[in-house]
Amino acid sequence: MKKVDARGCACPEPVVLTRNAIKEDPSGAEVTVDNACAVENISRFARNAGYQVAAIKNGSEVTLTLTKP
């Protein structure tokens, strides 16, 4: 599972980085972002691509874990 640091990235870069990560390793990815818009976009993209999404909030940062069901 690849780790992606998408903090501070403008829309839609966090989603592009996530997509590229699961292209390389389809088992899943762990993505750290720091704004609500990126959380929504990655979650929507991941569910559309057939992944489950778990979110852990740490201050202003959110780590999203994408796994295959």
Partner 1 sequence: MKKHLPVILTGAVTGVIALALVAFGNPANMGFCIACFIRDTAGALKLQSASAVQYVRPEIIGLIIGSFLLSLLKKEFQPRGGSSPMTRFVLGMVVMTGALVFLGCPLRMLLRLGGGDLNALVGLVGFAGGVGIGVLALNRGFSLKRAYTQSTLEGAAMPALVTGLLVMVLLFPVLFAFSESGPGSLHAAVWISLAGGLIVGGMAQRSRFCMAGGIRDQMLFTDFHLLSGSAALLVVVIIGNLILGKFHLGFQGQPIAHTDGLWNFLGMALVGWGSVLLGGCPLRQTILAGEGSTDSAITILGMLIGAAICHNFGLASSADGATFNGKIAVGVCALILLAVTLLNSNRKGAKA
Return residues touching partner 1 (CB under 8 A).
Answer: 2-5, 7-13, 15-21, 24, 29, 34-37, 40-41, 44-45, 48, 60
Residue 11 annotated as catalytic:
yes
CA–CA gap between residue 59 and residue 17 (Å, rounded):
22
Cβ atoms within 10 A of the Cβ of 5, count? 14
Query: Active-site residue among 11, 16, 37, 54?
Result: 11
**Pick 40 or 54: Cβ nearer partner 1:** 40
**Pick 57 or 69: Cβ nearer partner 1:** 57
Q: Which value, to the nearest 10 degrees, does the dihedral of the CA atoms of residues 27, 33, 10, 13 take?
A: -10
**Pick 3 or 68: Cβ nearer partner 1:** 3
* Catalytic residue positions, numbered: 11
